[in-house]
């Protein structure tokens, strides 16, 4: 039952890869793992959905069988290195281009070698084949888990349309791995059903099938949620019209809590469409309207906002301020790595002057009119 493991061309750019939490060992002892991953998927149940420890019964194997299983044990202890420093678009890309790519190369080599050695036990007794099939499934499950436990570029996390595409690429790479988990686990269930001694392995493999199905369902649910958020933004444009050309929004954030200032500011700028739609409507009443507004709000552990309030504003337009507060109240920011957070965001709204394209050559236009007179001796 051979599968192409590495049909994941997109992994170098789009696959998640950070440290995972504690992984299980063969003898019921936990092997060393990395720190909790800082990843959008780690903020969902996906990264914490762990298989139980393998059942006791490793003593079913004779000494001559130990080498393939020790090789598999080594694979299961391998985790992608953690990304150091602040998670920016550039640093995340550098992480995937460097340490993560190197990890994939070594992990691939070790996994293929371990699987090949375990496949060579296909002529052994039923108990050996059951344990071998279960361990192969667990290696694939471990790899799928690694792919769903890496950092997400801020611009992707802040843009639901990009997030949906990004997660779909991860799903494309993870799906064949989870299919292999299911196939191997089903083989274990079928063979183990013939022996009462192997019943604990049959039960474990049933659980593994359930975990694989749940992993696939959860990442699909994340994609669906991102697509729905993207469609909601599109609705704002259809309902209120796209922001007029030449308007701009700047954002600066200060955050108290386990969330970086830039993450909040990037999110606001990436979701500027409904905010600029508010500004667009206000400009229809006052085409010279511009200024700043500072809004403060709480960010819950799931990223939802509450207690949105206006701290200060130079806009002088109550309807515009209310519209902005309502938009912010509907935002779902990246979740804090722990607890909740409080943020203040300063928004700068203004109209960018558009040069007069019809100005005659040699000089007419606003720039020429504003030019200082030539100095004379």
CATH of the domain at 271: 3.30.2420
CB 209 within 8 A of CB 26: no
Question: d(Cα 236, Cα 331) in Å, to the nearest integer?
Answer: 13
Q: Which of 212 and 25 is assigned the larger pLDDT?
A: 212
- At a CB cut-off of 8 Å and minimum separation 6, what does 228 contact? none
Residues 95 and 187 in one domain: yes
Q: Does residue 3 fall inside a structural domain?
A: no
Q: How far apart are CA 347 and CA 336, in angstroms?
A: 22
Check residues 289 and 57 and name the one with the higher pLDDT: 289
Share of the chain above pLDDT 70, in %: 72
Q: Are 269 and 302 within 8 A, CB to CB? A: no
pLDDT tier at 326, thresholds 50, 70, 90: very high
Cβ(71)–Cβ(135) under 8 Å? no
321 and 257 in one domain?
A: yes
Beta bridge partners of 304: 332
Residue 176 placed within a domain: yes
Q: Mean pLDDT throughout 143-167?
A: 82
The stretch 180-209 carries a mean pLDDT of 88
Is there a single domain that holds both residue 269 and residue 295?
yes
Instruction: Looking at the structure, tell me whether residues 190 and 317 fall in a common domain.
Output: no
- Distance in angstroms (rounded) separating the CA atoms of residues 145 and 108: 14
Nearest to 135 by CA among 87, 66, 46: 66
CA-derived radius of gyration, the chain = 27
Residues 325 and 197 placed together within one structural domain of the fold: no
Last residue within a domain, chosen from 234, 263, 288: 234
pLDDT at 60: 54
Tell me the two tokens of residue 91.
């640093």
> How far out from the chain centre does Cα 290 lie?
36
Domains in the chain, number = 2
Kindly state the DSSP code that residue 86 receives in the 8-state scheme: -
Residue 369 has pLDDT above 60, yes or no: no
Report if residue 5 sits inside a domain: no
Q: Is there a domain that residue 375 lies in? A: no
- For the record, the structure tokens of 111 come out as 């996994």
Domain-embedded: residue 97: yes
- Give the Cα separation of 170 and 164 in Å (integer): 10
On whether both 50 and 167 belong to a single domain, the answer is yes
Residues in the chain: 377
Q: Over the stretch 5-61, which tens digit does the pLDDT of each residue have? A: 222 222 222 233 333 333 333 333 333 333 333 323 233 333 344 454 565 555 556
Q: Are residues 227 and 257 in the same domain?
A: no
Q: What pLDDT does 11 receive?
A: 28
Cβ neighbour number for residue 66 with a 10 Å cutoff = 12
Please report the pLDDT score of residue 247 as a whole number. Answer: 66
Q: Is it the case that residue 240 has pLDDT exceeding 70?
A: no
Beta bridge partners of 19: none
Range of the domain at 220: 11-234
Cβ neighbours, 10 Å, residue 143: 25
353: pLDDT confidence band, cut at 50, 70 and 90? low
């Amino acid at each position: 039952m051979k599968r192409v493991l590495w049909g994941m061309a997109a992994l170098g750019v789009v696959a998640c890869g950070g440290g995972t939490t504690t992984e299980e060992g063969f003898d019921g002892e936990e092997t060393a793992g990395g720190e909790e991953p800082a990843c959008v998927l780690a903020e969902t149940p996906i990264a914490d959905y762990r298989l139980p420890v393998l059942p006791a019964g490793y003593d079913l194997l004779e000494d001559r069988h130990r080498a393939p299983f020790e090789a598999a044990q080594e694979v299961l202890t391998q985790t992608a290195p953690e990304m150091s420093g602040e998670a920016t678009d550039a640093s995340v890309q550098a992480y995937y281009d460097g340490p993560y790519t190197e990890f994939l190369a070594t992990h691939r080599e070790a996994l293929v070698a371990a699987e090949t050695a375990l496949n060579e036990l296909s002529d052994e007794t039923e108990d050996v084949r059951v344990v071998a099939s279960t361990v192969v499934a667990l290696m694939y499950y471990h790899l799928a888990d690694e792919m769903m436990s890496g950092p997400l570029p801020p611009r992707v996390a802040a843009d639901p349309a990009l997030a949906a595409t990004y997660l779909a690429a991860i799903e494309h790479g993870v799906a064949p791995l989870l299919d292999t988990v299911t196939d191997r686990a089903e083989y274990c269930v079928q063979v183990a059903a013939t022996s009462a001694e192997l019943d604990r392995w049959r039960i474990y493999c049933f659980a593994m099938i359930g975990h694989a199905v749940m992993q696939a369902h959860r990442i699909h649910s994340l994609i669906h949620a991102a697509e729905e958020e993207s469609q909601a933004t599109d609705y704002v444009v259809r309902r209120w019209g796209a922001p007029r050309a030449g308007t701009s929004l700047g954002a600066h954030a200060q955050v108290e809590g386990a969330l970086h200032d830039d993450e909040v500011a990037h999110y606001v700028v990436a979701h500027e469409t409904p905010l600029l739609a508010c500004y667009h409507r206000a400009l229809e009443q006052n085409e010279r309207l511009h200024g700043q507004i500072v809004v403060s709000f709480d960010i819950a552990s799931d990223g939802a906002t509450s207690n949105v309030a206006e701290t200060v504003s130079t806009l002088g337009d109550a309807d515009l301020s209310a519209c902005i507060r309502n938009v912010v109240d509907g935002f779902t920011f990246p979740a804090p790595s722990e607890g909740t957070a409080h943020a203040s965001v300063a928004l700068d709204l203004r109209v960018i002057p558009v040069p007069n394209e019809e100005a005659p050559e040699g000089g007419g236009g606003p720039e020429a009119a504003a030019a200082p007179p030539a100095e004379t001796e």
